[in-house]
């Protein structure tokens, strides 16, 4: 896993711009702490920061197909899990390899298949290929959007990077925020393409972008499609089990220490059990997988259920680790460390965005830092809820009947950013949400013979997979890579996603509970207490001292430059008057967003064009 950046321009010779590409590359240093490199040609410059996971001695980047007068140069981030199979296919076609890295497989796959290489790759990745022969830049992003890739126009071409901060190191690009950007950020619709930054866009998940002398062209090479499901329940259970098993086991390869994130929920427990078994199979019966969970020092005594959480995770995670046979550790955080300005600033800098989930982001960042002391790669249970129908909105009649994005119903307006009335009138977020919702539903593929129930559930799953999941993947990528930790997500295997998307809801819900098919896959490898445990979200602290400290930070944030231009001071101060021990989670998230806004404005110093 790495950080990539670069730019191409047909209006200038960039070979004399080494300081620019070096500055852009340096912004990615946390993503790639092990090594860095740049390459410059007449019309393109590529940069790379490396987190060495496979073939540490080989695989240096940017990688060219030959040392002298290269035809093709690649800068690549991610993992291609079928690289061994592709290597053999390419060898049979005459390609010779000098490294064990999957990077070289991607490079030679491009030489063999051109843009069609995307149809052969399985994994999570974002990469750029400069083709000297055709004077052409290709940008590619994996199917589900696990790995980020941003771009912006420059004179005669475009600049790109794993994170927006890389773009802003280019002299032609400055961080600017306009009304469209704030509307995207605070509507919480998670559109892919536009960002909070004016002129900065994402390459679509499952998309590729081409720049040549004719301009920029984008297309999708993969997206969800509706197909008839012909398997009965027994065959479906067997097929899902096979797909989950394969996805987990094929993502275990690494030349560095590897672990799992084990929360004590169904999703992470199934992944942990499968990779622990695979590790024993390949490394011997005595091999033990490290697993990690996060907790707060006050949680056992102070846990209080809320709209997202039904129980304390730690006992379930401990039981799951013992059942599976992992070396399990619980990273226990003092809730007050989440108030440390430097910890909070590090999170906001990593995100390049004012939108997050406050203490849950800070605690995840701290957890990843602790894990990185022992491991370089972690496997996660992210995306199982989207794939198998785990969220309350798949089961709640009110959510199913609502004509809006279902996550907006979870906490309501109480958790929304309180916008200054004049700005709110300009942004018209309610209208924007309604328009975007209609457009989103129009993009959902359907079969002609769907029942009303199947029709609605397909809409809910499509919205969850193409919008809600993307912000979770962004969060996990940014906060893990800021610690130099690679996180893999087996449930994002595109074959599993395709199969589950087209499985009828009656099968996904066949036992009357959420994630029925995943529970079937977990029988015998996870303890019963975990198999039948209700859905529980990532933990949050319940300490009144944290709430009181957050209220102080929010009050200070109101005095920071430009915050009052964006936030509604009256609403914020009303929330500050709530006793700390009675501050509800939604109101607390409102304060978190005001604090993060102040930190984001202070760090990036964006030009505001409101």
b/e code 460-471 from CB counts within 10 Å (16+ = b): bbbbbbbbbbbb
Residue 29: partners with Cβ closer than 8 Å, 6 or more residues away = 3, 36, 49
From the number of C-beta atoms within 10 Å of its C-beta (0-12, 13-18, 19+), residue 67 rates as: exposed
Give strand pairing partners of 216.
211
Using DSSP's 3-state secondary structure scheme, residue 393 falls into: helix
Q: What is the 3-state secondary structure (H, E, C) of 54-109?
A: CCCCCCCCCEECCCCCCCEEEEEEEEECCHHHHHHHHHHCCCCCCCCCHHHHHHHH
Q: What count of other Cβ atoms lies within 10 Å of the Cβ of residue 126?
A: 27
Q: Are 347 and 480 in contact (CB under 8 A)?
A: no
Using DSSP's 3-state secondary structure scheme, residue 571 falls into: helix
Residue 373: partners with Cβ closer than 8 Å, 6 or more residues away = none
Residue 292: partners with Cβ closer than 8 Å, 6 or more residues away = 259, 260, 261, 262, 328, 329, 330, 331, 367, 370, 371, 378
Question: What values do phi and psi take at 331, rounded to 5?
Answer: -85, 110
Q: Which of 362, 425, 357, 421 is nearest to 591 (CA)?
A: 357
Using DSSP's 3-state secondary structure scheme, residue 407 falls into: coil
Q: Which of 2, 74, 128, 429 is catalytic?
A: 2
CA angle 346, 352, 353 (to 5 degrees): 105
Distance, in Å, from the CA atom of 288 to the CA atom of 28, rounded to the nearest integer, reads: 33
Asked if 259 is an active-site residue, the reply is no
Distance, in Å, from the CA atom of 429 to the CA atom of 427, rounded to the nearest integer, reads: 5
From the number of C-beta atoms within 10 Å of its C-beta (0-12, 13-18, 19+), residue 549 rates as: middle
Distance, in Å, from the CA atom of 309 to the CA atom of 274, rounded to the nearest integer, reads: 26
Name the residues annotated as catalytic: 2
């Amino acid at each position: 896993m790495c950080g990539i950046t670069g730019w191409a321009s047909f209006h200038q010779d960039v070979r004399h711009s080494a300081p620019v590409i070096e500055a852009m590359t340096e912004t990615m240093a946390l993503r790639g702490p092990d090594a860095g490199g740049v390459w410059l040609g007449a019309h393109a410059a590529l940069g790379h920061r490396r987190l060495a996971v496979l073939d540490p001695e080989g695989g240096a980047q940017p990688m060219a197909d030959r040392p002298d007068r290269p035809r093709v140069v690649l800068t690549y981030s991610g993992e291609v899990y079928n690289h061994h199979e592709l290597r053999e296919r390419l060898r049979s076609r005459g390609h010779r390899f000098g490294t064990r890295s999957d990077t070289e497989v991607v490079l030679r796959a491009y030489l063999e298949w051109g843009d069609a290489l995307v149809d052969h790759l399985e994994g999570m990745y974002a990469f750029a290929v400069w083709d000297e022969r055709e004077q052409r830049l290709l940008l590619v992003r994996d199917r589900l959007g696990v790995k980020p890739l941003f771009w912006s126009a420059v004179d005669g071409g475009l600049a790109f990077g794993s994170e927006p901060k890389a773009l802003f190191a280019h002299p032609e690009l400055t961080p600017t925020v306009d009304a469209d950007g704030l509307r995207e950020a605070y509507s919480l619709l998670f559109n892919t393409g536009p960002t909070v930054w004016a002129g900065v866009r994402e390459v679509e998940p499952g998309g590729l972008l081409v720049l040549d002398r004719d301009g920029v062209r984008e297309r999708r090479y993969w997206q969800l499609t509706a197909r008839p499901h012909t398997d009965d329940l027994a065959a479906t259970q067997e097929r899902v089990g096979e797909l989950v098993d394969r996805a987990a086991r094929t993502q275990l390869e690494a030349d560095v220490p590897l672990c799992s994130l084990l929360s004590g929920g169904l999703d992470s427990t199934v992944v942990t059990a499968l990779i622990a078994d695979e590790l024993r199979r390949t490394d011997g019966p005595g091999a033990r997988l490290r697993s990690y969970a996060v907790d707060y020092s006050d949680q056992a005594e102070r846990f209080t259920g809320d709209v997202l959480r039904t129980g304390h995770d730690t006992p379930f995670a401990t039981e799951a680790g013992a059942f599976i046979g992992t070396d399990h550790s619980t990273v226990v955080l003092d809730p007050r460390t989440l108030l440390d300005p430097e910890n909070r600033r590090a999170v906001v800098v990593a995100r390049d965005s004012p939108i997050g989930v406050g203490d849950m982001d800070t605690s995840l960042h701290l957890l990843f830092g602790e894990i990185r002391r022992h491991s370089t790669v972690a496997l996660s249970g992210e995306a199982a809820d989207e794939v198998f129908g785990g969220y309350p909105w798949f089961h709640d009649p009110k959510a199913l009947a609502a004509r809006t994005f279902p996550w907006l119903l979870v906490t309501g307006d109480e958790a929304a950013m309180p916008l200054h009335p004049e700005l709110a009138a300009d942004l018209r977020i309610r209208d924007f949400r309604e328009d975007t919702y209609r457009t989103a539903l129009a993009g959902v593929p359907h079969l002609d013979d769907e029942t009303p129930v199947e029709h609605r559930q397909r809409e809910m799953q499509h919205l969850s997979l193409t919008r809600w999941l993307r912000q979770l993947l962004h969060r996990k990528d940014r906060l893990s890579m800021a610690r130099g930790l690679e996180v893999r997500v087996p449930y994002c295997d595109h074959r599993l996603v395709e199969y589950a998307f087209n499985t009828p809801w009656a099968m996904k819900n066949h036992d009357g509970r959420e994630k029925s098919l995943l529970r079937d896959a977990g029988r015998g490898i996870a303890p019963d207490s975990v198999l039948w445990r209700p859905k529980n979200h990532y933990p949050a602290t319940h300490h009144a001292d944290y709430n009181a400290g957050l209220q102080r930070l929010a009050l200070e944030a109101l005095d920071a430059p430009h915050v009052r231009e964006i936030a509604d001071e009256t609403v914020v101060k009303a929330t500050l008057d709530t006793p700390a021990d009675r501050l509800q989670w939604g109101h607390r998230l409102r304060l978190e967003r005001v604090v993060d806004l102040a930190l984001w404005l202070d760090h990036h110093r964006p030009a505001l064009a409101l």
